[in-house]
Amino acid sequence: MEFLNNIFVYIAQWIRETLATLGFTPVWVEVSMAVVYLVAILGVCTLAALFYVLWERKLAGYIQYRPGPNRLGPNGWFQTIADAIKLLTKEDVVPSEADKIVHLMAPVFIFVPTVLALAVIPFGKGMAAVDLNLGVFYLIAVTSLSTIPIFMGGWGSNNKYSLLGAMRAVAQMVSYEIPLVFSLLGVVLITGTLQLQGIVEAQSQVWFVLLQPIAFLIYIIAATAETNRAPFDLPEGESELTAGIYTEYSGMKWALFFLAEYCNLFIVSAMGVTMFLGGWQGPFLPGWVWFLIKTHLLFSFFIWIRWTFPRIRVDQLMHFGWKFLVPLSLANIFLTGIGVYIYKNGLGWW
Amino acid sequence: MLVQYTIIGILFLGALAFGAFTIILSRLLQPHRPYPEKLETYECGIKTQGTAWVQFKTSYFLYALVFLVFDIETIFLYPWAVKFQSLGLFAIIEMFIFLIILIIGFWYAWKEGALEWR
pLDDT at residue A350 greater than cutoff 70: no
A277, A298 Cβ separation under 8 angstroms = yes
Question: What are the respective helix, strand and coil percentages of chain B, to the nearest 5?
Answer: 70, 0, 30
pLDDT bucket at A73, cuts 50 / 70 / 90:
confident
Among chain B residues, CA nearest to A249: B42
CATH value of B2-111 in 1.10.10.10, 1.20.58.1610, 2.60.40.10, 3.30.920.30: 1.20.58.1610
Is residue A145 helix, strand or coil?
coil
What are residue A344's phi and psi, to 5 degrees?
Answer: -75, -45
Residue A350 lies in a domain: no
Percent of chain A with pLDDT over 70: 98
What's the DSSP call for residue A108? Answer: H
Q: Which residues make Cβ contacts (< 8 Å) with residue A205, sequence separation at least 6?
A: none
**How close A285 comes to chain B (CA, Å)?**
30
Phi/psi-derived region of residue A337, left when phi > 0, alpha when psi is between -120 and 50, beta in every other case: alpha
Angle, CA of B3, A281 and A225, to the nearest 5°: 75
Q: Of A315, A59, A50, A150, whose CA–CA distance to B60 is shortest?
A: A315
Whole-angstrom distance, CA of residue A231 vs CA of residue A222 = 11
Contact assignment for B25 to A88 by CB distance below 8 Å: yes
CB of A111 within 8 A of CB of B15?
yes
Question: If 0-12 CB within 10 Å is exposed, 13-18 middle and 19+ buried, where does residue B64 land?
Answer: middle
- Domain residue limits at A136: 2-345
Task: Determine the average pLDDT of the residues in A14-21.
Answer: 81
- Measured between beta carbons, the chain A residues lying within 8 angstroms of B36 are 96
10 Å Cβ neighbour count for A180? 26
List pLDDT tens digits, range B61-114: 888 888 888 888 888 888 888 887 777 777 778 888 888 888 888 888 888 877
Comparing CB atoms, the residue among B14, B30, B36 nearest residue A38 is: B14
- The answer on pLDDT for A349 being more than 70 is no
Summarize pLDDT for A139-192 with one digit per residue, the tens.
Answer: 888 888 888 888 888 888 888 888 888 888 888 888 888 899 888 888 888 888
Averaged pLDDT score across all residues of chain A: 84
CA A210/CA A212 separation, integer angstroms: 6
B82 lies within 8 A of chain A by CB: yes
Is residue A40 a contact partner of residue A22, using CB atoms and an 8 Å limit? no
User: Closest by alpha carbon to B27, among A317, A193, A89, A285?
Assistant: A89
Confirm if A307 and A63 have CB atoms less than 8 A apart: yes
CB of B115 within 8 Å of a chain A CB? The answer is yes
Contact A37 B74 (CB under 8 A): no
In chain A, beta strands by DSSP E? none
- Which burial class, exposed, middle or buried, applies to B46 when counting CB atoms under 10 A from its CB (0-12, 13-18, 19+)? exposed
Contact B11 A93 (CB under 8 A): no
Work out the pLDDT band at A1, boundaries 50, 70, 90. Answer: low
DSSP code per residue over A281-345: --SSS-HHHHHHHHHHHHHHHHHHHHTTSPPPPHHHHHHIIIIIIHHHHHHHHHHHHHHHHHHHH
Residue A322 distance to chain B (closest CA, Å): 7
Q: At what angle do helices A251-276 and A79-88 cross, to 10 degrees?
A: 130
Specify the 3-state DSSP secondary structure of A232. coil
- What are the tens digits of pLDDT across the range A233-279? 877 777 777 777 888 888 888 888 888 888 889 999 999 998 888 87
Residue A94's φ and ψ, nearest 5 degrees, are -110, 120
Domain count, chain A: 1
Question: Would you tell me which residues 5-24 of chain B have a C-beta closer than 8 angstroms to some C-beta of chain A?
Answer: 6-8, 10-12, 14-16, 18-20, 22-23
Identify all chain A residues contacting B14, using CB atoms and an 8 Å cutoff.
34-35, 38, 42, 115
B80 CA: distance to closest CA in chain A (Å): 8
* ipTM score assigned to the predicted complex: 0.84
**Cα-based angle A141, A146, A148 (whole degrees, multiple of 5):** 105
Q: Across A64-73, A302-311, B56-65, which has the greatest mean pLDDT?
A: A302-311
Contacts of B99 in chain A (CB under 8 A): 330, 333-334
User: For the whole model, what pTM was predicted?
Assistant: 0.88
Q: What φ, ψ does residue B111 adopt, rounded to 5°?
A: -60, -40
Size of interface A-B (CB pairs under 8 A): 210
Distance CA A227, CA A146 (A): 10
Neighbour count for residue A158 (Cβ, 10 Å): 21
Most confident listed range (A68-72, A126-130, A326-330): A326-330
